[in-house]
Structure 1
């Protein structure tokens, strides 16, 4: 059983249950995370229009720069949140992301647009900053449901996103998408400022600048190598240099973390079984999610007339019908986790079930993908698994880590999720590109690369195996989790430290 006394902070005047202001706060945080989700989807759809406008072949940087900055800055922002205040850092990220969207909206060149898009990457750490803040300021009885809904609610936006993006691009051009983010982030920032209290928990620690540089540089090197390896070539000197440099910097970070008195991340905390296995299992869950959301539209949008054994020839907007069960069931899965954890069902079990659902969804899709109805069912099954796994992760970390280390620890879990989400699709497509390209003339496909039916089967089987491995890792998480020891937290009320805990 999770002891509420160890997972949240009792605040003066705090109501024990839901209140209108609490609902307002949760809705504001969810809106921020919805903007994060729709940001990736909308920009992905706008890449062709942006590339054409700036006459560039480097459209991939629109997505890579966003993910790269999110992963690189995560650990530093997590530590800063624990030291200086989680709401403060969350609002700072929101402001920086809005500024980045403004820069992109008025960018006179593609390079300036990428700078703006990079600044917007600090939205990604808002996921763990949000549930870390909820853990500290929401009443204990509401925490499990709140963090579950906040982390899984992002699935809802996937349903209308294609229609909204199409309307913006057709009627107002790609710049209107960035203006939408400027306005949306500005409004949400004000809502969070008005509705959400600052966490009273502070970690007494110095900032490890050297560790932040080494860890951030290592993550950047590996992600750049993985992202552009398929384009540059895996034996290309640039790919090997980024990969080797990234590994070397991560090794240097591990050494420095053992030497520095107050490291950016305590390695003794990270290597504990509950945290290490949660990090690895959640990474595979997010990696499978990334792979499924890439493979499914490719399969559904391929014209059936080509006779490849798959495909329905749906448009980008027509694909929204597949997003309904996928995104909708992600939310349902998250709500289920919140309710069951509130009734003392262990999040470990729910993470196992979620990953098994994902594995089953991949396996069934690999074997039976010539029927829209079946694909809709399999997408719903996979979405349910995603929602269960997504929502189980913050609940597991809340159980394993004290409040003053929540954001720091969650940031490393977030990095694992980002890295695996980048690596797994690349691995699957490397296999497909090497052995399963369909022998169709380029003039028929208009230059697009299509894959054989067997290629998609293999790719989905890769996802099924990855999710099954994740379920095994989750099963190895101890049934009883003891919170890690941590330096005393300073509890701050109205700007003054009043007690240690």
Structure 2
């Protein structure tokens, strides 16, 4: 009898003593990348002065990260399926380190925008990490590990805010970027030393036309959403960008359906489970972001308004941090519910909890503990829902398309978040009160935003209700026996 191969022929996972190490390292990489998203939040009011730019131009330091992440995420997902997920994970982390270093050396707008764009190109780390877990972990570990990896997006953001605020208040702002660069180096070395490369490859040629087309469409869409308030929602530039996004997306879809090796397999994406999960992810991303917009402003508005709590950015971070810990704590619970009742049930439960959290926030917003309670409830719902989405996607796609499918799901959440930011911005700008020489969002404006967030969570619940009935766990699903050829295995 020959010795057992260290990797099954079908590319499925084998039990290794390094499984725990792989999970910890990948989750750490996810947290480091999500920290980057909150890095500049404490600096936003000061960016025009720090970068010697106008307030409108300074927002490009935020917009550049969003646009680069949207373009990079689906591209690195497909490249990961073709050439190695660990390889593309390392490339993404290197981009984070380089971007952080450029930001740390910047003192004007252009290099800062370049650095932030490079940081945004690391956004594919979390879907790549989830895909590596599918290839490397035993079935009994996959659910809890992917739930933890998904939660790392919220965990890093919530825990990074107080840390960034503390550094910004007590050190030169460049230290924020040097810290991000240092953490990126640590994550890169740990992945290089401790995470194995998956033997599952999809092969084929990279769809350059599809990648360019999708990138142009996303740039037009997200640029219109993120800058629409500055340029005017009915202005020619904004409407032109939206029209271009529609036209390019239609042309891109036509190309992808006729391509033998598309960037995104639209036929797989159109499967009921994948399509509804992505739709629910977009709506849920919309719902999730309302908390990040409302709570910091309520905490920082002057007490003289009658509803502001008059605290600084550090207090904002400390209030938001518990929600990140709650997300991490609910990750194993999400996996347990998914094993017992299916990930569809977990997603529906998470959406319901988020809706309840916003309902609480509408009624309770007059004390710090009110906001801590609401953010923790919302965080629990996010942790439940985020843990279920990869399971739903991976159970319905071939193993050779795991990274691309998870990247598309992450992209859908990002689009929902961007739309949420734009909608909330319009509401807060329209419902205002006079406060001395300035106008501030009214208390009713915050309540409307929270009501919209609650409604979006209920809509995600309704979408999830139409998902197919429970399917086998992704680790045991027939998708693992897809025709992907492990590296080194003989081809047919």
- TM-score between both structures, scaled by the size of structure 1: 0.90
3-state SS of the aligned residue for 2:486?
A: strand
- Contact residue 47 and residue 62 of structure 1 kept, 8 A: no
Tell me how far apart the structure 2 counterparts of residues 159 and 458 of structure 1 sit (CA, whole Å): 23
Q: CA deviation at 1:159?
A: 5.0
Return the alpha-carbon distance in structure 1 between the equivalents of residues 464 and 427 of structure 2.
27
Taking structure 1 as reference, are residues 460 and 42 closer, same or farther at Cα in structure 2, changes over 3 Å only? same
Q: Which residue of 2 aligns with 1:450?
A: 440
Matched, 1:477 2:476: no
Secondary structure at the aligned position of 2:228 is classed as helix
1:161 shift after superposition: 2.9
Asked if the contact 2:81–2:403 (Cα under 8 Å) also holds between the matched residues in 1, the reply is yes
Output the CA distance in 2 between the equivalents of 1:372 and 1:115. Answer: 37
Q: Provide closer, same or farther for how the CA distance between residues 88 and 109 of structure 1 changes in structure 2, counting only shifts above 3 A.
A: same
Provide the residue aligned with 1:394 in structure 2. 390
**Following superposition of structure 1 onto structure 2, how do residues 59-98 of structure 1 map, counting pairs within 5 Å?**
59-98=58-97
2:403 to 392, 403, 407: 407
* Match runs of 1:405-444 below 5 Å: 405-434=401-430, 436-442=431-437
Corresponding residue for 2:137?
138
Deviation at 1:350, TM superposition (A): 0.5
Q: For residues 209 and 159 of structure 2, what CA distance do their matches in structure 1 show? A: 43
| Contact 2:13–2:139 (CA under 8 A) maintained in structure 1 | no
- Would you say the 8 A contact 1:325–1:377 is kept in 2? no
Partner of residue 331, structure 2: 334
Write the mapping of 1:304-323 to structure 2, written as runs, cut at 5 A.
304-307=303-306, 310-323=307-320
Partner secondary structure for residue 230 of structure 1: helix
Distance, in Å, in 1 between the alignment partners of 2:317 and 2:426 is 27
Query: Given the alignment of the two structures, is residue 280 of structure 1 paired with residue 276 of structure 2, yes or no?
Result: no
3-state SS of 1:450 partner = strand
1:374 aligns with 370
Pick aligned residue for 2:33 from 21, 33, 36: 36
Q: Which moved more, 1:84-93 or 1:44-53?
A: 44-53
Tell me which residue corresponds to 1:153: 152
Deviation of 1:229 after TM superposition, in Å, equals 0.3
Q: Residue 300 of structure 1 contacts residue 319 of structure 1 at CA under 8 Å; is this kept in 2? A: yes
Q: CA RMSD, aligned part only?
A: 2.2
Alignment of 1:152-231 (within 5 A): 152-158=151-157, 160-231=159-230
Mapped to 2, the partners of 1:38 and 1:164 lie a distance apart of: 9
Q: Does structure 2 conserve the Cα–Cα contact (< 8 Å) formed by 1:152 and 1:331? A: yes
Q: CA deviation at 1:85?
A: 0.8
Q: Is the 8 A contact 1:38 1:161 kept in 2?
A: yes
**Structure 2 gaps, min length 5:** 1-6
Partner residue in 2 for 1:459: 449
Structure 1: distance between partners of 2:160 and 2:117: 21
Is contact 2:399-2:482 (8 Å) kept?
Answer: no
Report if the CA contact (8 A) 2:342-2:471 is conserved. Answer: no
Post-superposition offset of 1:282? 1.4
Extract unaligned runs of 5+ from structure 1.
none
| Structure 2 counterpart of 1:497 | 489
Q: After TM superposition, give the deviation of residue 322 of structure 1 in Å.
A: 2.1
Per the TM alignment, residue 9 of structure 1 is displaced from its structure 2 partner at its CA by 4.1
Q: What are the equivalent positions in structure 2 for 1:41-56 lying under 5 Å apart?
A: 41-56=38-53
1:235-266 deviations in Å (ceiling 9; x for gaps): 22221222222221111101111222221111
CA distance in 2, matches of 1:337, 1:217: 36
Question: 1:413-466: per-residue Cα shift (whole Å, max 9, x none)?
Answer: 1221111100022113323323x1113332xxxx4x412222111111111111
Q: Contact 2:350/2:382 (CA < 8 Å) preserved in 1? A: yes
Question: Contact between 1:22 and 1:195, CA under 8 Å: does it hold in 2?
Answer: no
Deviation at 1:326, TM superposition (A): 1.7
Shift of 1:405: 0.9
Give the Cα separation in 2 of the matches to 1:161 and 1:285.
Answer: 22
Query: Once structures 1 and 2 are overlaid, which stretch shifts more, 49-58 or 411-420?
Result: 49-58
Specify the alignment match of 1:237 in structure 2: 236
Cα distance per residue 1:316-341 (max 9 Å; x no partner)? 11123421432221112212112333
Cα displacement string for residues 283-330 of structure 1 (whole angstroms, at most 9, x for unaligned residues): 2222211111111111122222222xx221121111234214322211
8 Å CA contact 1:158–1:327 kept in 2: the answer is yes
Corresponding position of 2:267: 268
SS in 2 for 1:56: coil
Paired residue secondary structure (1:123):
coil
Alignment of 1:112 with 2:111, yes or no, is yes
Match of residue 3 from structure 2: none
Q: Which moved more, 1:109-118 or 1:424-433?
A: 424-433
**What displacement does 1:136 show?**
0.5
Residues 202/363 of structure 1: CA separation in 2 closer, same or farther (3 Å cut) = same
Q: Distance in 1 between matches of 2:398 and 2:341?
A: 20
The 1:175–1:286 alpha-carbon spacing in structure 2 relative to 1, beyond 3 Å, is same
Residue 19 of structure 2 corresponds to which residue in structure 1? 22
Q: More displaced, 227-236 or 424-433?
A: 424-433
1:227 offset after TM fit, Å?
0.2
